[in-house]
Amino acid sequence: MSEEPLSTPGKIQPTQEKDRINSLDTLRGFALMGILVMNIQSFSMPSSAYFVPDSFGNFEGINQIVWYVGNLFFDQKFMAMFSMMFGAGIVLMSRGRDAVGKPVLGIHYRRMLLLLLFGLIHAYLIWYGDILVPYAICGMSVVWVRRWSARRLALLGAFLIFFGSLFFLLIGFGASESEDVANGVRESMEMDEAAAEQELAAYRGSWLDALPDRAAQAASMHFFLVPVSFFWRISGLMLIGMALFKWQVMDATRSNRFYTIMALIGGGLGLPLVAFGAYWSQTMKFDVLHMLGFGMLPNWFGSVGVALMWIALVMLFCRSKAFGKVKYVLSCYGRMAFTNYIGQTVLATFFFYGYGFGYFGSVDRLGQVGVSVAIWTIQMTFSPIWLKYYQFGPLEWVWRSGVYKSFQPMRRQPLPE
């Protein structure tokens, strides 16, 4: 997220290092870690395994426990955190120019259009589960209300999240009232043995072998799930992130008492709701109709509370005087979030897909945790070393150079004394 300094008349630039908010970088790095915990399932197993966990592979013992931990603490929660930070970044980018009456929308829309282009390349050429496309689309929409009060932003955000849940309510009620609707949902979403084998063969094959499946899955997300559901949730979360930023929640300047209460309320409301949803889904034997209908709702809402809990805990961590090196590594990881997000895909797909090591469908959920730890280790070792010599991550540099229509200085510049 970039904010334009106003010290150089007539020239626009990305955020200078002295102007960065370290707590946001640290929070972004932590959120990026959590996103991999969930994405690794889609990197490594057929697509049905994400929404219907017992539809593929070993779902007993430790593997079942891994899923429950992921569902309770990670699933939807870290994407919610990232969405909130994206909204905060829009306010951070625009507030300087808004304060002096300079235009914002030209810069913002260049940022979003370039992000959309990166997302389309990512989704159709590398991995169908890309989140950059919906972020770009939602970012283009919410920017118009960036000047609203924090209270109005939070209320509108909550309304949009509720509105997005209506899709799952309609599936649930429609299926309960009509056998044709129920059968139609099951036929479109259930993966039989032949379909699973076809997906396994595609992703264990060459890049070209996987292209038709990847393109079809990406198109399904972009033309169906985004407009009818994800757009409303992500936009709502971005608006809540704008509100949190205006309330100075994300810069770690509120009191320890404030963040402790925030964590207790967020977790106290969110975790029981998510846990109930997991229990309910298990009693329904992870029926695909339930998982894509009423069963989606507890985590849809509960994940917002858990995300707020995580934000509060990270702010408490940032306010503490301990673990300085850990904070530094996390902040470097977060400063290169764009590069590291795409890097997670590159490393994971090379490990799992046929044009790399070809382990797709062969690693259980416990093993996926090990792969995630390995990717974290690689990236968290690389990020501080890179930022020792350069101001931006590689993809951040490409993105910002495009936004500001000139090649940005890449080498690290010494801070003024």
Q: What is the pLDDT of residues 366-385, one digit of tens each?
A: 999 999 999 999 999 999 99
- Sketch the domain layout of the chain as residue ranges: 23-403
Lowest-confidence segment of 12-16, 66-70, 287-291, 380-384 by average pLDDT: 12-16
Q: What is the mean pLDDT of residues 238-246?
A: 98
User: Is a pLDDT exceeding 70 seen at residue 140?
Assistant: yes
**Which pair of structure tokens corresponds to residue 140?**
């283009």
Half-sphere exposure of 270 (CA within 13 A, CB side): 26
Lowest-confidence segment of 2-16, 52-66, 79-93, 210-224 by average pLDDT: 2-16
Q: What is the mean pLDDT of residues 25-33?
A: 97
Paired with 390 in beta bridges are: 411
Q: What is the mean pLDDT of residues 393-409?
A: 94
Q: What is the mean pLDDT of residues 40-66?
A: 93
Q: What is the pTM (predicted TM-score) of this model?
A: 0.92
Query: Coil, helix or strand for 411?
Result: strand
Which residue bears the tokens 């994940």? 303
**What is the pLDDT, as a whole number, of residue 180?**
76
DSSP classification of residue 52? S
Segment (H or E) for 167 = helix 150-177
Q: 65 Cβ partners below 8 Å, 6+ apart?
A: none
* More confident site: 416 or 145: 145
DSSP string, 44-77: HS-THHHHSGGGSS--STHHHHHHHHHHHHTTTH
Residue in 28, 68, 10, 49 with CA at minimum distance from that of residue 274: 68
Residue 101 gets the label, from left (phi > 0), alpha (psi -120 to 50) or beta, of left
**What is the pLDDT, as a whole number, of residue 13?**
53
Lowest-confidence segment of 74-83, 97-106, 348-357 by average pLDDT: 97-106
Lowest-confidence segment of 48-52, 83-87, 163-167 by average pLDDT: 48-52
User: Is a pLDDT exceeding 50 seen at residue 250?
Assistant: yes
**What is the pLDDT, as a whole number, of residue 4?**
41
What is the pLDDT of the chain when averaged over all its residues? 91
Alpha-carbon span 293 to 186, nearest angstrom: 11
**Which pair of structure tokens corresponds to residue 331?**
């902040």
**What is the pLDDT, as a whole number, of residue 7?**
37
User: Is a pLDDT exceeding 50 seen at residue 120?
Assistant: yes
